[in-house]
Chains A and B, each alone.
Chain A
């Protein structure tokens, strides 16, 4: 195992995060605060509680997921896309590193950054609402697995994309709608019956529902189903990345 190599990638990626601190950490925190002000306080004060949870508090897990998903994807995809774009990827590909080690470095750094952002958002939320976490271990587990799974997903997008437009495409037209329609700001039983069924096709519903359960002990779908879905997604991403490296997809001709 080339520990030094993994460390080198990880440190280099985290250095990039530090250099772009404003953009990478401050902006998601700021936008989350804006959501709290608009949805939590202004609009939320006129909405009755959802499943016994005050609305401002109810949206915390959804808001965290919104940031975690978009940040994990954008960090990881940019992390691997940029060396491809500049051509510096040749060095990583000619280094004595296995594909597992390369992923560990890049995805590890992207997931770490998401974890930091998630924690900051959680702390920020505590200033706006009276935060409570019913199942802390599960909360942390969901947080961790989500960061890793979606960083892997971002890594796949970064490998697949061969221009900046493609890099933005999936997060913009797929992820954002899925998260907004995945119950970030509402419980799915607030939807008309027909849409309740349709929304169950959205994988993010399970993610947010499970995460919300870990906070408030209330869920739209069963926790077991949530855990199964997120684990399934993680394994799917692992499978795709493994295939990409095995075939040298866009990396090795």
Chain B
């Protein structure tokens, strides 16, 4: 996935103000690349679901434009919606429907003729092969979520939206869900998922966007994002504890651990010079003997918390 990959979804200046005056989206600009997995991170009420719902046609935008594969979601709604599958956050199911019928209904709604072979194959891939004739309300929560995925995929969409796919799902099923997403990516489906599980984004996404307060604070490749915002810490274990740091180390961003056995140095991985060599030299000159070295990189979680916190303080985007 490179930045030259064409955008399958283009969002420009998307704004949504609800009837009660709440501004859920404040001018979002976003390009989703074909075939990627994009994770949208954000706290509750950040605007993630509003953004997804607008692209899918459930919410009418106040201003701005959204195109899917070059088609406008308003003017050419048939063309754009045919390309999109949506798995909603809520477990919205018709309790008395039979699994295969409800998936068949979804396929029909999106304008495709009946294809029992495809549906049976799809349900099989989602480990629902033996549940085809079950009534929805007989299924467990995890199974219901799989059926919702099957419904979203029933019309062979090129884009799949997963709104909080693993909210309230146990660890095993979450892993299963990630496998399903990976399999879909291999089939060439573009996937946009919202989550507030950072590990989920870190695990499966190619790119990560952070939304807070109706604004897209940052969007970047996962690794770039981590190195861009990521601070590294170098932990230097001393052979013998020292009571205070020598004055010669004052120019470095260092501190002594509480047990006085380690010197912690924070540095920016993006900086041209990290200062590590100079620090080690200074330590050596100060007569401190080193026992071991280790580095820790901040996780997406730290980055996310920092971004959202700074957004609250300044009230404006970072990126």
Interface residues of A (CB under 8 A from B): 2-5, 7-9, 11-12, 15, 19, 82-83, 86-88, 90-97, 248, 252-253
Are B95 and A4 within 8 A (Cβ)? no
**B118 CB within 8 Å of chain A:** no
**B121 CB within 8 Å of chain A:** no
Are B109 and A87 within 8 A (Cβ)? no
Are B108 and A94 within 8 A (Cβ)? no
Stretch in B56-64, B253-261, B305-313 with 4+ CB within 8 Å of A: B56-64
Complex CA distance for A19 and B112, rounded to whole angstroms = 25
Are A252 and B58 within 8 A (Cβ)? yes
Stretch in B80-88, B236-244, B286-294 with 4+ CB within 8 Å of A: B80-88
Complex CA distance for A96 and B101, rounded to whole angstroms = 19
**B90 CB within 8 Å of chain A:** yes
Complex CA distance for A158 and B88, rounded to whole angstroms = 23
**B19 CB within 8 Å of chain A:** yes
Other A-B pairs, 9, CB within 8 Å; known A5-B108, A252-B60 = A5-B111, A90-B58, A90-B86, A91-B109, A92-B109, A94-B84, A95-B109, A96-B82, A253-B59
Are A97 and B109 within 8 A (Cβ)? yes
**B113 CB within 8 Å of chain A:** yes
B112: A residues at CB distance < 8 A = 4
CB distance from A243 to the nearest CB of B (A): 15
Q: List 14 A-B contacts (CB under 8 A).
A: A4-B112, A9-B108, A9-B109, A11-B105, A15-B101, A86-B93, A87-B92, A90-B58, A92-B109, A93-B57, A94-B56, A94-B57, A94-B86, A96-B82
Are B113 and A4 within 8 A (Cβ)? yes
Are A253 and B109 within 8 A (Cβ)? no
A82: B residues at CB distance < 8 A = 94
**B151 CB within 8 Å of chain A:** yes
Given the contacts A2-B78, A96-B77, A96-B82, A88 and B94 also touching, CB distance less than 8 Å:
yes
Are B58 and A94 within 8 A (Cβ)? yes
A16's closest neighbor in chain B, by CB?
Answer: B96
How does the 8 Å CB contact mask read for B168-199 relative to A, with 1 for contact and 0 for none?
Answer: 00000000000000000000000000000000
Are B94 and A83 within 8 A (Cβ)? yes
B265: A residues at CB distance < 8 A = none
Q: Classify the secondary structure of A's interface with B.
A: helix
CB distance from B92 to the nearest CB of A (A): 3
A90's closest neighbor in chain B, by CB?
Answer: B88
Complex CA distance for A91 and B109, rounded to whole angstroms = 8
A253's closest neighbor in chain B, by CB?
Answer: B59
Most chain-B CB neighbours within 10 Å: which of A87, A90, A97, A253? A253
Complex CA distance for A225 and B273, rounded to whole angstroms = 91
Complex CA distance for A94 and B87, rounded to whole angstroms = 11
Complex CA distance for A154 and B30, rounded to whole angstroms = 42
CB distance from A103 to the nearest CB of B (A): 14
Partner of B110 from A88, A96, A252 at Cβ < 8 Å: A96
Nearest 4 CB-CB pairings of A with B: A8-B108, A87-B92, A96-B78, A95-B109
**B18 CB within 8 Å of chain A:** yes
Are B92 and A86 within 8 A (Cβ)? yes
**B106 CB within 8 Å of chain A:** yes
Partner of A12 from B18, B58, B59, B105 at Cβ < 8 Å: B105
CB distance from A93 to the nearest CB of B (A): 5
CB distance from A2 to the nearest CB of B (A): 5
Complex CA distance for A95 and B82, rounded to whole angstroms = 7
B151: A residues at CB distance < 8 A = 91
A87: B residues at CB distance < 8 A = 88, 90, 92
Given the contacts A2-B78, A87-B92, A96 and B58 also touching, CB distance less than 8 Å:
no
A88: B residues at CB distance < 8 A = 92-94
- Which residues of B (96-110) have their CB < 8 Å from a CB of A? 96, 101, 104-110
A247's closest neighbor in chain B, by CB?
Answer: B60
A93: B residues at CB distance < 8 A = 57-58
B113: A residues at CB distance < 8 A = 4
Are B58 and A7 within 8 A (Cβ)? no
CB distance from B61 to the nearest CB of A (A): 11
Most chain-A CB neighbours within 10 Å: which of B58, B93, B101? B58
A19: B residues at CB distance < 8 A = 96
- Which residues of B (58-80) have their CB < 8 Å from a CB of A? 58-60, 77-79
CB distance from B57 to the nearest CB of A (A): 5
Are A90 and B92 within 8 A (Cβ)? yes
Are B60 and A248 within 8 A (Cβ)? yes
Are B105 and A2 within 8 A (Cβ)? no
CB distance from B76 to the nearest CB of A (A): 10
